[in-house]
Amino acid sequence: MVVEIVSKGSVTKDTITKKEIYERYKVHEYWIIFPELETIEVLTIDVDRYSSFP
């Protein structure tokens, strides 16, 4: 499991670049925390790709 806390300067890196790396290595669960929006996106591996947790 990986948890990323996103800041204004790291949005692209955390939501695209790191997501692709974690997906490639099949990190089972990836949480992306957006403190300014007060939201958490939970992604889990479904076959070989991430899907959002409802």
- Secondary structure element (H or E) that encloses residue 24, with its range: helix 18-24
Q: Which parts of the chain have pLDDT scores under 50?
A: none
CA distance 54 to 7: 23
In a domain, 8, yes or no: no
- Percent pLDDT > 70 in the chain is 96
Tens-digit pLDDT profile for residues 7-18:
989 999 999 999
In a domain, 4, yes or no: no
In a domain, 41, yes or no: yes
Domain count, the chain: 1
Question: Comparing C-alpha atoms, which of 29, 24, 26 is closest to residue 4?
Answer: 29
Which residue range(s) make up the domain with 42?
14-52
Calculate the CA 22 to chain-centre distance.
8
In a domain, 27, yes or no: yes
The pLDDT value recorded for residue 31 is: 96
Do 19 and 30 meet the contact criterion of CB atoms below 8 Å apart?
yes
